[in-house]
Amino acid sequence: MYSNSSQICTHFGTTTRKKMVFNFRVFKKQAPNGKITMYLGKRDFVDHISGVEPIEGVFLIDSEYKDRKIFGQIVCSFRYGREEDEVMGLNFQKDLFLDSRQLYPVPEEQETSKMQERLIRKLGDDAYPFTFTLPPSAPASVTLQPGVEDEGQPCGVHYYVKIFVGETETDRSHKRSTVSMGIRKIQYAPSKQGRQPCTVIRKDFMLSPGELELEVTLDKQLYHHGEQIAVNICIRNSSNKVVKKIKSMVQQGVDVVLFQNGQYRTTVACVETQEGCPIQPGSTLQKIIYLTPTLESNKDKRGVALDGHLKHQETNMASTTLLASPDARDAFGIIVSYAVKVKLYLGALGGELVAELPFILMHPKPNVKGKIIHADSQADIEDFRQDTVDNEAQE
């Protein structure tokens, strides 16, 4: 989309300079009364562990509202229970105001980005910039997949930018003079692979000589969504037991840190096989099982964690949550992890032998070169309808 801002054209021996116009995408939403309009350059903001990309935008106010005060907020909405279960005064949603300030009258001059400068130049003197910063400890955007019969807003962590008219930033805003737009806080996969996961589990049996050994290795530690996971399994049976079946699965772990017992696991990919079985005493088996966790095969499972998504956009299973340190765990609303589990079935008397290996599942960082917004840039504006505010806060 972006290249040199002009090109040389030669025609009939005459050299002329042809001006090129560049477009950049902008998201727009207007308050129901049409008096305030919000513009955002993007809706996905990357958490780099050490810091989060700033939220930069512009708001346009009607000339009739020039004597009013206008405030802006970044709201993290954490829903941890279904709306239909909210009875007898119970409320399963917490709204955290991560940043809140007066935007107009402008309290002080602030630096503006190229995108903000171009928008203000296009919109006129009634347009003003705003910049918010998310704390690094803020949780990533995550949505828990609702059941088929569930209604209302799904559980999870959602963010939105809110601009409203009031006397103070703690005023209860009026819907008609409030505009809200959903955003996402996301993480991308590290650029380097970690140590290759490997584990060895041994089991001995009471009143029986020898032991059963299970070695499990993954081909790498970091996978991108949609990639196939190769699970290398090596079984050495030095016991007098017989391995009758092998089961390999990918489990997604969800930890809702608000609850002491808010941890559960969901199997999102599974292969069960008897190929090479039974493994008799003194025998060895080495094989590779391939697993691919995808949302398409888990669309009917309630509670599967999804990447926080915006309306009218496709999503996928949630990425692994990366933490700067284990101490930062309590600040995150929902923590997502993945592990491969391999289980050997030895029959009713022999029991089972289980090995588990954690791994990372994330999106790769987009390979986007630094974009330049030129002086002759024009905005392609994506407009959201304005009939409601609350129902579209997560749009």
Per-residue pLDDT tens for 300-357? Answer: 898 899 988 766 567 889 999 988 766 665 555 788 999 999 999 998 778 899 999 9
Instruction: Please write the tens of the pLDDT for every residue from 18-73.
Output: 444 456 678 999 999 999 999 999 999 998 888 889 999 999 999 888 889 999 99
Residue 207 banded pLDDT, cuts 50, 70, 90: confident
CA atoms within 13 A on the CB side of 165: 20
Cis peptide before 129 (omega within 30 of 0): no
Instruction: Please write the tens of the pLDDT for every residue from 5-26.
Output: 333 333 434 444 444 445 667 8
Does residue 146 register a pLDDT over 90?
Answer: no
**Selecting from 2.60.40.640, 3.40.640.10, 3.30.70.890, 1.20.120.160, what CATH number does the domain 198-362 have?**
2.60.40.640
Architecture of domain 6-188+368-392: Sandwich (2.60)
Residue 19: exposure state from Cβ atoms within 10 A (0-12, 13-18, ≥19): exposed
With b meaning 16 or more CB within 10 Å and e meaning fewer, what string describes 102-119?
Answer: ebbeeeeeeebbbbbebb
Q: Judge whether 6-188+368-392 and 198-362 match in fold.
A: yes
Could you tell me the residue ranges of all domains in the chain? 6-188+368-392, 198-362
- In contact, 198 and 220? CB cutoff 8 Å: no
